[in-house]
Structure 1
Amino acid sequence: MEPKIQEKVWDPKLESNIRKKWEDSKLYEFHSDTDGYTIDTPPPYPSGRPWHIGAAAHYAQIDMIARTARMNGKNVYFPIGIDRNGLPVELYTEKKHGIRMRETERGKFLDLCKDALDDLEAEMIQIMKNLGLSCDFDNYYRTDSEEYRALTQATFIELWKNDSIYLATRPNNYDWVTGTTIADAEIIYEELPTKLVHMKFKVKDGEEVIIASTRPELLCACKAVIVNPEDVRYTDLVGKKVIVPISNQEVEIQAHHSAQIVFGSGAVMVCSYGDHNDVALFRELDLEEVIAIGQDGRLTEAAGAYAGLKPKQARTKIIEDLESKGLVEKIEEISHRTPISERSRTPIEIIPMEEYYLKQKGSVEKMRELGAQIKFYPEMHRQILMNWLDSIKIDWPISRRRYYGTEIPIWYCKKCSEPYLPEPGKYYQPWYLECPAKKCPKCGFTEFVGEERTFDTWMDSSVSPLFITKFKKDEEFFKRTYPTAVRPQAKDIVRTWLYYTLLRCENLTGEKPWSEAWIMGYGLDEKGLKMSKSKGNALDPLPIIEKFGADTFRFWSASEVNHGNDFRCSEQKIESTKKFLTKLWNVSRFLSSFPIVESADLADTDKWIISELDKLVKDCKAGFDEYNFFIPAIAIREFTWNIFAAQYIEMAKARAYGIGFSDAERDGAIYTLHKVLSTLLKLLAPITPYITDFLWQTLYSDKSIHTEQQAKEESNEDLTQHTQAISDFNSKVWNEKKEKGLHLPDSIKIEIPKELEIFKKDLVAMHHLEI
């Protein structure tokens, strides 16, 4: 019999034709007239070469969530967007055009950023399409669109009116090269060589205390010395005063648990603002701040003779002066983990800056309560959120001093500085546009100055579930799609994107934005290091997908590691996954030579494989229910390779051909072969959508497999207790034939175990047993 599938191998080039059929038929269209299962899909960021392989694997699995939900009968709303605000595009634009943001006219710089994003976005969209993502590409959104930015501004205006936002001067991360406050997410850490200077501080009664620091240029800002309360070396000194060298101010020695006994001398100077620990200590100990470094990145007048020097210059000069005065015990060359601005590659400083803040301290317990209500997949990543909530000590600084972002919609009266916020609903650019108000509502003055700052990009990202569900725009659509069902994302942004979204959406709607959070681990390189463009170890997914096909890539993504854990990426691992799809293709091609049988009486061999199939369906359902695609991927591969192909097909082959069997017995085998294969294709459909749809429409239907309901358990008879015995017996026969130099079609005399008597007829035919 000629196989219905003519192609001898699965050709990944077929994927583009299959995808076009999906697009033309609008296969994945959301029906907005009924309640939806909404996925709050993370909008990927195009910066430089878009995406590395780990990110592509992440989005492939998000698509598996959508496909699983559809096959479970849900009306899936699967929007997709592109995140186009903030620092990365500014960095890319500066590098591409050889310019600096603050030395370029703002409007021109924004245009250059937009053009750069358009080019990068096109490739990113193509990668997502090639991957087989079943999202709504016809209506994908951009976070820099006027519509999106208008929503961000509208939510700010509402929160301002609710007294949830205020302006204050507080310590912030500061990139002095580019002149902007930056978020923790915009900081990278590098191990840099530096000097650990052991300095002599004089105690007022004549003793000396050795204090080690990598930042002697901040001596003028030292307001306390701390020692660990369990450090017996300093027990008698707690409460005494010491004189800070060079600057000569008197400060108190205090006991504090944050001082590390084993680092340096165990005594630590507390300066404003050496690092975030210093900031926290200044608040806790109620110390008076000294601003040692200004916004120009140079020491201020507080540094005395060192004013005007850059920190590195001042450090060198102060060390020289300390040595000349005999105030240095020793200097160690060490490697120090230093916070670096991703933008300028310069060590950041912490200085007081006037910024807008969104209140969050008072919401921590409410966020903890909502976080406890959300189902986390996997559960272990809930702790990331809880740890972050435990660490919140200040409100969220939401303003940034950069260009490519959503502008803060405020004008200030030039006379009395009264803020004016416009009516929500439009997109405002206060730095460029005239104030909508004709006169100040407070003093009547007619001139205003527009705010030049932009929002932290998380202010935009954190309203994604509101934007996609048409909050304040289409009430009926919003009711059917919000709260959303699931938030899929990577674990490194739980403390930012997940938390900020939870905070903002609760502030604006009074409820949590989703009931489930699906958290994926990092994509690592072959050595187990986190992949990043800056390290140069990020693999480009596009050529790999084009070479091996999306289904090979997707099956590798699902089968590589248990969900939630970090996973290693390599082209060799992906290529090896292709073997399974080849096996599936070969099995399907073989079965395609047999006609479809609608019903039949089953032999015990058929009942056995169907009971194994039911076990597989049950195991796969457990994995699908938790969006853990590792479980079904591994289970399906094991079943297909080692049970279905290696055992059942060989046992039923003679019967399927009707050699020595009745027509009824033949039909039982053929029915079962197709029953198993069609079920396998359904189970695999969310993971490998292309090959399964091709095989399904070639063998079983003129409709897509992605319109089918997922397979369910059917058998009431469990014969899986025989599986190991079947496998052992078959291996025994094959091995004995090999030892005797016999070929597989040769006959051999071996007794069938009593336990396997119910399968005797198939085993005899399979092995050509002499009975």
Structure 2
Amino acid sequence: MEEWPKHYNPAELEPKWEEKWLSKDFWEKIFKFDEKSNKPVFFIDTPPPFTSGELHMGHAYWVTIADTIARAKRLQGYNVLLPQGWDTQGLPTELKVQYRLKIPKENRELFLKKCVEWTNDMIGKMKTAMIRLGYRPDWEDFEYKTYSSEYRKVIQKSLLDMYKQGIVKIREGPIYWCPKCETAVAQSEVGYLEKEGVFAYISFPLKDGGQIIIATTRPELLGATQAIAVNPEDERYKNLIGKIVIIPIFNKEVKIIADEAVEKDFGTGAVMISTYGDPQDIKWKLKYNLPYTELIDDKGRMKNTGGLLDGLTISQAKQKMIELLKEKGYLIKVEKIKHNVLSHTERSDCLSPIEFLTKKQIYIDLIKFKEKLLEEYKKMNFRPERMSYYLEEWIKNLEWDWNISRQRVYGTPLPFWYCDNNHLIPAKEEDLPVDPSKSSPPYEKCPYCGLPLKPVTDVADVWIDSSVTVLYLSGFYTDKERFNKTFPASLRLQGTDIIRTWLFYTFFRTLMLTGSVPFKEVLVNGQVLGPDGSRMSKSKGNVVSPLDRVNEFGADSIRMTLLDASIGEDFPFKWETVRGKKLLLQKLWNASRLAYPFISGKHLDKPKDLNIIDKWVLIEHKKFVQKSIDAYNNYNFYIILQQIYSYFWEIVADEYLEMIKHRLFEEDQSALYTLQRILKDIIILLHPIAPHITEEIYSRLFGDKISVLLENMPDVSDIQEDKTTEELGNNIKKFNSMVRSAKISNKLSIVTPVNVTVYGPENFLNSIKAVEKDIKTTLKINEIKYINDSNEKIEIQTMGV
């Protein structure tokens, strides 16, 4: 027989199986989505990660979840579609090419070429890391890149269809703008961050005499002030409503208006309405039809201030304005404060404050569908259920339509032309994919007004790209037969951090285009934290890479560690935990090595009469199998790992194997059959979580198929539960533990022969008598003396004493 190594060596054996899984034979027989199969389909929509080149722990987590679910579903008889895409276009890559490779974006063709080269290099690094973790999607047929012409065609076709619905429009108006990234952003990409700032108390002269004092965090926007607002119920200012105020420094006259949105207790209770300091300014501007003054340019520098602040950054302008106000006697006081500032939070390497600029942009109507969205999202089943709350709250708090224009280079071109009258003209479907900046428009002039047509040179928001993953993979536009089989997707897998982006936009777009929700289930995982329990951050020094010690502990141990938490919960990643998981796998390796000479290559039928010990372990085995399959169905992977400890380690390895060793050498058919059955089932049930070691053990013990994945989930319907046998097993465990503990407390070796006197009630004693021969052999007991007693205890004596 082939030699079985004493120690499991993941660095040697795991890459061997990863190579096998990538082979044509394994792909065709196991990992390929079979379009002609009549098996039920299970389609997982996995996140297309941005091509950063680094596979961080968050990636490793969802990769492990996706692969585990896919393997489990294959064992349950499903035809699994496990794709893997790459979110290829976006600002981070542009910045790398622009600043690291020193390629100017004005050299558009070379710039885009280098962006694609960079992207593919990053994909190669990430893909290698994914494979090393045992991840095996259908790379051959369902790997996609969002910059590809096939994918881009689907993106653009979806936009044309939404245009036909009348919900894609061009208009000029205020937008969220990131001066650092020099592009518009969507509401989903911004959030509030606490930053240091100032509260400047400024005296505004009244035209008829007197003053009104206003506290503001944006003194640099004085020149854009269009009105002063106070609360109509504020007794301090009721007599000032309608009066004229003179803006300090700029000598501009504006009116004091009353609006219930003004907080009486904030600052002085009187506020500047400037275009634009924050979202509330926009609401007031529209409500009162106020004029607009733009003081900030695309790069976040001041303009249109008559030379006072022009060219200064916002922070420089803020300080300069405070100095001017002080010099002219308008400044009452300045307080340093910490306050929430709207920032570009979607990009962790930006986090810059957001400004509001007025630009001509392309929008998709969103707000008018809020009620429909709030009703339809309930058709998707969330795991955990509480995660639906975050999607619901996001929909409720939407205030803006979706601005899909981005003022960048490396992105999907928006397939439209426009005229100065804001008529939006779509490309012809047969011309897709199209780049309007390089192609002629479908008409010589605007068909609505006759004005010349100009290309939309902006590219699409990246969420426009990734929100059609389900439509692209299911073949909505390209393969109606596949679409009918796979849509809606069985499962959307993602983290909490992209509920308001990837999940929401996919839900919204799919609903608009198909009339249906995109997924049956949404599985939302939590975050992997640093060993200190806080979010991983380079500045904190608590970042752990999943591949740092993969050869030492193995990918399977890492996967088990990542899955040993309830889905949706955040948890810390610690290498000590991984070490513990490797010890568990070594225990499985040892048990399999022990069984190897007795069961390898044998097809053992169930004997008519089973030994009572084998009956007991099979009852425990049935519980293990049923709980594990139920856990897979509910994505509770941690329960399977708990069962592996409580059943395999504590019952099979520590008790059962020790008790049947002598029967294995006697070729007892009951023991051989039972051992083969329970080990095979354990290997099958653990395989989705720890695929490498289970493939290796399976190939050595049961290798009549090329992979565990050609087996089925275990069937335990033939095992009869029996309370008497269960009680017997529990009593045996208790007695064995008592003997071992007694030997240890008497400083005796476990293999030291002893005589035992056991006290206990009749049923306890009868259990031991029923398997006395096995117990004596296992525990090295020469004689057992039984004494009926209400209390269970034992006494031991060494031989000859």
TM-score (norm 1): 0.90
Indicate the residue corresponding to 2:383 in structure 1. Answer: 377
> Could you tell me which residue of structure 2 aligns to residue 674 of structure 1?
676
Seq. identity, %: 33
- Does structure 1 retain, via aligned residues, the 8 Å contact 2:415–2:427? yes
| Distance change >3 Å, CA 207–CA 537, structure 1 → 2 | farther
Match of 1:21 in 2: 20
Aligned to 1:351: 357
Relative to structure 1, the CA distance from residue 453 to residue 718 in structure 2 (aligned partners, 3 Å threshold; closer, same or farther) is farther
Q: Say if 2:470 is the partner of 1:471.
A: no
Corresponding residue number in structure 1 for 2:115: 113
Q: Does residue 605 of structure 2 align to residue 598 of structure 1?
A: yes
CA 1:78/1:309 → structure 2, altered by over 3 Å: closer, same or farther?
Answer: same
Q: Who is 1:9 aligned against?
A: 8
Higher relative contact order (CA 8 A, sep 6+): 1
| 1:579-606 residue CA offsets vs partner (Å, 9 max, x unmatched) | 1111111121112232353223323322
The answer to whether the aligner puts 1:259 opposite 2:258 as a matched pair is no
2:754 matched to 1:751? no
When residues 592 and 621 of structure 1 are mapped into structure 2, their CA distance, relative to the original with a 3 A threshold, is: same
Letter in 2 for 1:465: V
The corresponding residue for 2:486 is 481
1:309-708 equivalences under 5 Å are 309-340=312-343, 342=347, 346-412=352-418, 419-424=425-430, 426-437=432-443, 441=447, 448-531=453-536, 537-559=542-564, 561-595=565-599, 596=602, 597-600=604-607, 601-658=609-666, 666-703=668-705, 704-708=707-711
Q: Matches of 2:123 and 2:535 in 1, distance apart?
A: 24
Paired residue secondary structure (2:695): helix
1:293–1:300 contact (8 Å) kept in structure 2? yes
Structure 1: how far apart are the matches of 2:11 and 2:652?
24
Once residues 39 and 280 of structure 1 are traced to their aligned partners in structure 2, the CA distance between those partners, rounded to angstroms, is 41
The residue matched to 2:11 in structure 1 has which SS?
A: coil
Of the structure 1 ranges 143-152 and 310-319, higher mean CA displacement relative to structure 2 is found in 310-319
Larger displacement relative to structure 2 (480-489 or 397-406):
480-489
Letter in 1 for 2:202: M
Deviation at 1:225, TM superposition (A): 5.6
The residue aligned with 2:795 is: none
**Alpha-carbon offset, residue 188 of structure 1:** 7.8
Q: Distance in 2 between matches of 1:533 and 1:90?
A: 22
Q: 1:110 to 1:322 in 2, by over 3 A?
A: same
Gaps of 5+ in 2: 786-801
Instruction: Give the structure 2 partner of residue 91 of structure 1.
Output: 95
Candidates 57, 60, 67, aligned match of 1:63: 67
2:77 aligned with 1:73, yes or no?
yes
Deviations 1:691-731 (A, max 9, x none): 11111121123211111111244332144566665544333
SS in structure 2 of the partner of residue 488 of structure 1 = strand
Q: Can you list the C-alpha shifts for 1:259-288, whole angstroms capped at 9, x where unaligned?
A: 384x65565544332223443455567655
Between stretches 215-224 and 519-528, larger displacement belongs to 215-224
Q: Once the 2 structures are TM-superposed, how far is the Cα of residue 366 of structure 1 from its aligned partner?
A: 2.2
Residue 390 (structure 1) shift: 0.3
Shift of 1:461: 0.6
| Structure 2: distance between partners of 1:562 and 1:258 | 44
Label 1:566 to 1:277 Cα distance change in 2 as closer, same or farther (>3 A). Answer: farther
SS in 2 for 1:487: strand
* CA offset digits 1:421-480 (Å, max 9, x no partner): 2224621111123335466545778x7532211111111111111111222212212222
Preserved contact between residue 54 and residue 524 of structure 1 (Cα < 8 Å):
no
Distance in 2 between residues matched to 1:630 and 1:301, nearest whole Å: 61
Letter in 2 for 1:751: V
Using the alignment, how far apart are the partners of 1:750 and 1:278 within structure 2? 87
Q: Which amino acid is 2:406 matched to?
A: R
**Runs of 5+ unmatched residues, structure 1:** none
Matched, 1:730 2:736: yes
Q: Residue deviations 1:558-592, cap 9 Å, x none? A: 11x21111122244433332111111111211122
Return the offset for 1:534. 8.0
Alpha-carbon distance in structure 1 between the residues aligned to 2:279 and 2:449: 41
2:174 is matched with which residue: 165, 171, 178?
171
TM-score, structure 2 length as denominator?
0.87
Distance 1:211 1:413 in 2: 43
Answer yes or no: is the 8 Å Cα contact 1:226–1:259 preserved in 2. Answer: no
Q: CA deviation at 1:671?
A: 2.2
Q: How far did residue 228 of structure 1 move? A: 7.9
Separation in 2 of the partners of 1:277 and 1:536? 39
Distance in 1 between residues matched to 2:230 and 2:628, nearest whole Å: 57
**Residues of 2 paired with 1:555 and 1:677: CA distance?**
19
Query: Aligned letter for 2:416?
Result: I
For residues 39-50 of structure 1, the aligned pairs below 5 Å read: 39-47=44-52, 49-50=53-54
Q: Contact 2:103/2:111 (CA < 8 Å) preserved in 1?
A: no
Q: Deviations over 1:300-321 (max 9, x none)?
A: 4367844554422321122112
Cα gap change, 1:206 to 1:145, in 2 (>3 Å): same
Cα displacement (A) at 1:198: 3.1
Q: SS of the residue aligned with 1:321?
A: helix
Question: How far apart are 1:681 and its partner, in Å?
Answer: 1.0
Counterpart code for 2:568: G
Matches of 1:227 and 1:655 in 2, distance apart? 91
Cα gap change, 1:264 to 1:585, in 2 (>3 Å): farther
Distance in 2 of aligned mates of 1:681 and 1:281: 65
Question: How many residues are matched?
Answer: 757
Aligned residue for 1:318, secondary structure, equals helix
Distance 1:648 1:207 in 2: 93
Q: What aligned pairs does 1:144-223 form with structure 2 within 5 A after superposition? A: 144-176=147-179, 179-184=182-187, 192-201=195-204, 210-223=213-226
SS of the aligned residue for 2:736 comes to: helix
Q: Which amino acid aligns with 2:693?
A: I
Shift in alpha-carbon separation, 1:109–1:764, aligned structure 2, 3 A: same
One-letter amino acid of the structure 2 residue matched with residue 9 of structure 1: Y
> Aligned AA for 2:558?
F
The question of whether the paired residues in 1 share the 8 Å contact of 2:731 and 2:767 is answered with no
Alignment match, 1:138:
140
Q: CA deviation at 1:404?
A: 0.6
1:69 is paired with a residue of what secondary structure? helix
Label 1:240 to 1:616 Cα distance change in 2 as closer, same or farther (>3 A).
farther
